[in-house]
Amino acid sequence: MKIARSIQRMRPGLLIIISFTFAALIGAILLALPAASVDEPLSAVDALFTATSAVCVTGLVVVETGSHFTMFGKSVILALIQLGGLGLMTFSVFLFLFLGKGLGTRQRWIMTETFTPAPIKKIRKLIKSIFVFTFVAEGIGAASLFFFWYREMTFTQALYHSVFHSVSAFCNAGFSTYRESFIQYQGDVWLNMTVMGLIVAGGIGFPVIYEMRNRLFDLGVKRRPAVSLHTKMVVATTTILILAGWGLILISESRGEISSISFKDKLLTALFQSVTSRTAGFNTLDISRLAPGTLFMLVMLMFVGASPGSCGGGIKTTSLAVFMAIFKNKLAGRRDTSLFKRTIPNDVISRALSVFILAVLVVTVGLIALLITEMTTGHSGNEYFLSYLFEAVSAFGTVGLSMGITSSLTVAGKLVIIMLMMVGRVGLLTVAYVVTRAEHGRHFKYAGEKVMVG
């Protein structure tokens, strides 16, 4: 009873962090069991790393998923991916509703902060839509991948591979049962388009999906409301990032990794890598062999990440859109910040700026920690700086791409990556709300004074 009361009094942000931490610990215990591994069981740190990577839908691995884990171990990873993709608190709210219990203030706060840009009353309808869309999308993706793999596998093998990769792709997890991800299917249009569709569907955010669903299926409404600013920002920014990444990879790797393949495969491979680099972590190119310009561009895409209310991490597409709007309006000499003929509130601008500053700070601290912890590994020269930067941003953005250094990290280095993955998944503002205390009862304002800037 005391534990239940403590949970009820707990701040929502702290509850989210504890739920992810608890899931990672339970997953680590299960993955450390002898039954989870084909040969030697995972060490405690490696089990925690893998479980955190799964529940934070990241995809960074210290051992090969396909060959190291048994069916039990892979099932644990798949369950953690599904739980982490939708969020454990979403499942708890669904359970409350399923049992016929009402939702308290904390549950409603979590749902509105996680899945909607503005508070809504129909939480039950929202949760139902999230679960229905998730399992329908994963089911369609699994069916498509099944017919692809059934050509070269048995029924059971094709079913297993299709379900695992469909859930992993939709949840933007990046876990694959193949040693080199999808490099062997680099030119296959069917698999590439299916996986890209799942990644975009899972990364665009449930608020956008929910709004689209209402506009398409609420046939009884004669006068539909205008498309929200949030949806416009997400769709526009996502499209621009995908196209920009596509073009830059084509240019940067024209004499590199894609130089020897056909023009069709060049287009497909560059597009796939642009889509997956923001959140998903699958790859059809050897990341360690890409040009420095391509790698740095991928770092920027990973830093932005997915959209709010989705399965991915990063600073989110809407934060980038707000920055661009600020830049555009300041150049034009406007006092207010507007986008798509709508004024962006000052509190939204403050949140976006806070997210960006916190993200830079977290990645910087993580990078410095990695450079210090890995000094004794023989991989601490200047040529490895980009590798550790790439690893840190990939962990924070819950992407899962790596230049091949994950398995060689020290125990301290793995713990640093674990922290980055956890912060990236639960959200920077959630962490900030927990570690800081809001000032109450302060109803005064200090005198203003100008300072020189720039």
Q: Residue 76: which pLDDT band, with cuts at 50, 70 and 90?
A: very high
Q: What is the pLDDT of residue 112?
A: 57
pLDDT value of residue 104: 55
Tell me the per-residue pLDDT of 131-155, one tens digit each, with 9 for 90 and over: 888 889 999 999 999 999 998 889 9
CA 141 from centroid of its chain's CA atoms: 19
Confidence class for position 10, pLDDT limits 50, 70, 90: low
Give the whole-angstrom CA distance, residue 206 versus residue 196: 17
Q: 338 - beta bridge partners?
A: 343
Give per-residue pLDDT as tens, 12-55: 667 777 888 888 999 999 999 999 999 889 999 999 999 999 99
pLDDT band, residue 215 (cuts 50/70/90):
confident
pLDDT of residue 207: 81
Average pLDDT, the chain: 83
Among candidates 54, 86, 45, 57, which has minimal Cα distance to 73?
A: 54
Q: Is the pLDDT of residue 439 over 50?
A: no
Section 53-67 average pLDDT = 90
Confidence at residue 351, expressed as pLDDT on a 0 to 100 scale? 83
Spatial CA neighbour of 27 closest among 85, 73, 87: 73
The per-residue pLDDT for 418 is 95
Would you say the C-alpha torsion 145, 151, 154, 157 has a positive or negative sign? negative
Please give the single-letter amino acid code of residue 454.
G
| Amino acid 438: pLDDT | 47
- Cβ–Cβ under 8 Å, residues 378 and 38: no
Judged by average pLDDT, the poorest of 134-143, 160-169, 440-449 is 440-449
Q: What is the pLDDT of residue 4?
A: 47
Rounded to an integer, the average pLDDT of 331-347 is: 84
Per residue, the 3-state secondary structure of the chain, as one string, reads CHHHHHHHHCCHHHHHHHHHHHHHHHHHHHHCCHHHECCCCCCHHHHHHHHHHHHCCCCCCCCCHHHHECHHHHHHHHHHHHHHHHCHHHHHHHHHHHCCCCCCHHHHHHHHHHHCCCCCCCHHHHHHHHHHHHHHHHHHHHHHHHHHHCCCCCHHHHHHHHHHHHHHHHCCCCCCCCCCCCHHHCCCHHHHHHHHHHHHHHHCCHHHHHHHHHHHHCCCCCCCCCCCHHHHHHHHHHHHHHHHHHHHHHHHCCCCCCCCCCHHHHHHHHHHHHHHHHHCCCCCCCHHHCCHHHHHHHHHHHHHCCCCCCCCCCCCHHHHHHHHHHHHHHHCCCCCCEECCEECCHHHHHHHHHHHHHHHHHHHHHHHHHHHHCHHHCCCCHHHHHHHHHHHHHHHCCCCCCCCCHHHCCHHHHHHHHHHHHHHHHCHHHHHHHHCCCCCCCCCCCCCCCCCCC
Question: Mean of the pLDDT values across residues 396-410?
Answer: 90
Q: Give 356-374 pLDDT, tens digit per residue.
A: 888 999 999 999 999 998 8
Greatest mean pLDDT among 108-112, 336-340, 409-413 lies in 409-413
Q: Among residues of the chain, what percentage have pLDDT more than 70?
A: 80
Listed in sequence order, the residues at least 6 apart from 250 whose beta carbon sits closer than 8 Å to its beta carbon are 258, 266, 267, 270
d(CA 16, CA 345): 27
| pLDDT higher than threshold 80 for residue 95 | no
Tell me the C-alpha distance between 230 and 351, whole Å: 15
- For the ranges 67-76, 79-88, 317-326, the lowest mean pLDDT is seen at 79-88
